[in-house]
Chain A
Amino acid sequence: DQQVKQNSPSLSVQEGRISILNCDYTNSMFDYFLWYKKYPAEGPTFLISISSIKDKNEDGRFTVFLNKSAKHLSLHIVPSQPGDSAVYFCAASAKGTYKYIFGTGTRLKVLA
């Protein structure tokens, strides 16, 4: 049972445009969400987080939106840059557990 899903395995975007990566979850107990970026054979790098008390969090070019009623979150990258090309994972945890469940990842390719 995949509690965190990223239904798009890959996404290609032109440089300068917006990249939108989506993530859905099923467990209503999840209340803290993270996005990570991962290059091959490396550990994930933290990008941005959001708590369930918010519906938006912004950090530079990265914005995460949370729709609790739909159990959906999305990561917006604007403008997209070639260096953003990587696999992006969303992860969710329930309060106090710090046990994160990861989605299957979306491979983003930003075309120059």
Chain B
Amino acid sequence: GAVVSQHPSRVICKSGTSVKIECRSLDFQATTMFWYRQFPKQSLMLMATSNEGSKATYEQGVEKDKFLINHASLTLSTLTVTSAHPEDSSFYICSARGLANEKLFFGSGTQLSVL
């Protein structure tokens, strides 16, 4: 099956710093990538939808200036958590969809801990 690589898998940072998470589709071109976050024992919450070459579409309640998404190529999308605070600590997961595929392929996730 298709492979989506996400890194880092775990990051610990100080409050006020920015963290970048990368999501790459390794063996297919991802026209659309999605970013989710998951709090413990809760569902995956969609944060934003990212289409290659265009601005990301953010879900209601997600601050676009705080969670910067860039989808510069068909194989790479990045999520930057700017000026991170402890409440941003969460598990972030990306997913990618190929050109002719209803399925989503997920990265392995990034556990962000902000001290």
Contact of B106 among A41, A45, A98 (CB under 8 A): A45
Q: Are B46 and A101 in contact (CB under 8 A)?
A: yes
Number of interface residues of B (CB under 8 A): 26
Query: Quick check: A41 and B44 within 8 Å, CB to CB?
Result: no
Cα A61 to Cα B97 in complex, Å, equals 25
CB neighbours of A101 from chain B (8 A): 46
Write 17 A-B pairs (CB below 8 A) sorted by A numbering: A41-B91, A43-B93, A44-B93, A44-B106, A45-B106, A46-B103, A46-B104, A46-B105, A49-B102, A91-B44, A91-B104, A93-B102, A99-B46, A101-B46, A102-B43, A103-B43, A104-B42
Interface of B is mostly: strand
Give the A-B contact count at a CB cut-off of 8 A.
Answer: 55
The residue on A at minimum CB distance from B97 is A98
- A32 on the B face (CB < 8 A): yes
Interface of chain B residues 1 through 42 with chain A (CB within 8 A): 1, 4, 6, 9, 32, 34, 36, 42
Knowing A41-B111, A44-B44, A98-B97 are in contact, say whether A32-B102 is a contact too (CB < 8 A): yes
On chain B, the residues within 8 Å of A42 by CB distance are 108-109
Chain B positions within 8 Å of A, measured between CB atoms, are 1, 4, 6, 9, 32, 34, 36, 42-46, 49, 91, 93, 95, 97, 102-109, 111
Give the nearest-CB partner of A87 in chain B. B41
**Contact yes or no, A100 B43, CB < 8 A:** no
A34 at the interface (CB under 8 A from B): yes
User: Chain A's nearest CB lies how many Å from the CB of B106?
Assistant: 4
Cβ distance B53 to chain A, nearest Cβ, rounded Å:
17
A12–B32 Cα distance when bound, in Å, is 36
In contact, B103 and A89 (Cβ under 8 angstroms): no
Indicate which residue in B4, B44, B108, B111 contacts A102 across the interface (CB closer than 8 Å).
B44
Within 8 A of B (CB), among A81-112: 89, 91, 93, 98-105
Given contacts A98-B32, A99-B34, A99-B49, contact A43 B43 (CB under 8 A): no
